[in-house]
């Protein structure tokens, strides 16, 4: 039994670092769509339509938005504020949910959460200006330049990270992943999100909650930090990227109950567009909110990282310094 468990963990690690030789986004998409046809989950007509959409997305570098649920903040806010025990609900300015698809199930959560972060920034003029540059620097574009609201596909994000590595960003992370992401199924995490943002001159902070801060193994200091982030009075507030071993999610807000209890509001790429759509349905909205709402007791990974966006770099020195990743440790050790 122990040997089987160790073998399973070894295979997971091989997959995480892209050493399982199991293809890429496009190949996995086609394989899983064929299986979906055989199982009756997908019609033959839908299969061919999805094939066309996949080819277009891979060619243009623009995500096909098949797993995207737009403008989700007002939906969550409405359901949360209808709860009689909720004192206040504080949320990011805007965000779209991106779920896993046939092509990235099992390895794409980092990319999908990055897309959620970018979906928010696209609504801010200053950040949008910086993000648009990735279509110029991240590799050749086929056809016309994308619109300013276009979301880069997973393959495009992989190319951009490789480009950023080539510019000297996160040398250690580049070495760890073998200097190659494009056309692989390698997992990415918080450091790759920082690499993408920093390479586009978007200032961000990496906060390292390196150990639990309660006897029960939970992270009250993380919850306090997130609460303070959303309490700050900013004109534009992006979501937060949250990483722990093996998975990542996007923090879009917090609820504070009338008794002071705090819940995080998390979007998870493993949730489907159908599950997100339940927020619009009066009879099922509360069940959908329970998927998103996380208590202190539910967050017991040993180690969490948060990526917070905090402005646009305004000088070359800061840009060059951002090539070396730094983090703030919480709690700070003396």
- Active-site annotation, residues: 109, 247, 268
State the Cα–Cα distance between residues 252 and 93, nearest whole angstrom. 9
DSSP lists the bridge partners of residue 265 as 253, 293
State the Cα–Cα distance between residues 184 and 23, nearest whole angstrom. 6
Helices and strands in the chain, H and E counts: 14, 10
DSSP state of 121: H
Q: Which residues of 37-74 are buried (b: 16+ CB within 10 A; e: fewer)?
A: eeeeebeeeeeeebeeebeebbebbbbbbebbbeebbe
DSSP string, 20-56: S----HHHHHHHHHHHHHHHTSS-HHHHHHHHHHHHH
State the Cα–Cα distance between residues 38 and 226, nearest whole angstrom. 45
In Å, what is the CA distance from 219 to each residue of 214, 256, 295, 304, 326?
Answer: 6, 16, 10, 9, 21
**Cα 2 from chain centre:** 33
CB atoms within 10 A of CB 232: 8
């Amino acid at each position: 039994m122990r040997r089987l468990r160790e073998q399973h963990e070894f295979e997971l690690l091989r997959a995480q670092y892209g050493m399982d030789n199991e293809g890429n986004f496009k190949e996995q998409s086609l394989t899983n769509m064929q299986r979906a046809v055989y199982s009756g989950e997908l019609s033959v007509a839908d299969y061919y339509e999805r094939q066309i959409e996949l080819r277009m997305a891979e060619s243009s570098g623009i995500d096909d938005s098949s797993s995207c649920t737009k403008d989700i903040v007002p939906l969550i806010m409405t359901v949360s504020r209808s709860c009689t025990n909720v004192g206040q609900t504080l949320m990011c300015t805007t965000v779209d949910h991106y779920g896993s698809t046939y092509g990235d199930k099992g390895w794409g959560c980092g990319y999908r959460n990055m897309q959620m972060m970018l979906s928010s920034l696209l609504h801010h003029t200053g950040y949008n200006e910086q993000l648009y540059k990735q279509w110029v620097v991240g590799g050749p574009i086929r056809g016309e330049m994308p619109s300013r609201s276009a979301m880069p596909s997973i393959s495009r994000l992989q190319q951009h990270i490789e480009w950023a590595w080539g510019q000297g960003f996160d040398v250690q992370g580049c070495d760890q992943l073998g200097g190659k992401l494009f056309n692989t199924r390698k997992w990415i995490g918080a450091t790759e999100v920082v690499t993408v943002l920093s390479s586009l001159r978007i200032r961000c902070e990496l906060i390292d909650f390196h150990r639990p801060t309660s006897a029960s193994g939970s992270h009250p200091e993380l919850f306090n930090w997130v609460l303070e982030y959303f309490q700050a009075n900013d004109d534009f507030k992006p979501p937060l990227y949250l990483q722990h071993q093996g998975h990542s999610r996007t923090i879009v807000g917090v609820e504070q109950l009338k008794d002071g209890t705090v819940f995080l509001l998390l979007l998870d790429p493993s949730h489907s567009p159908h599950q997100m759509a339940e927020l619009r349905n009066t009879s099922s909205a509360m069940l959908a909110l329970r998927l998103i709402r996380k208590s202190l007791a539910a967050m017991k990974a040993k180690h969490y990282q948060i990526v917070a966006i905090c402005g646009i770099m305004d000088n070359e020195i800061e840009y060059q310094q951002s090539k070396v990743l730094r983090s703030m440790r919480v709690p700070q050790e003396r």
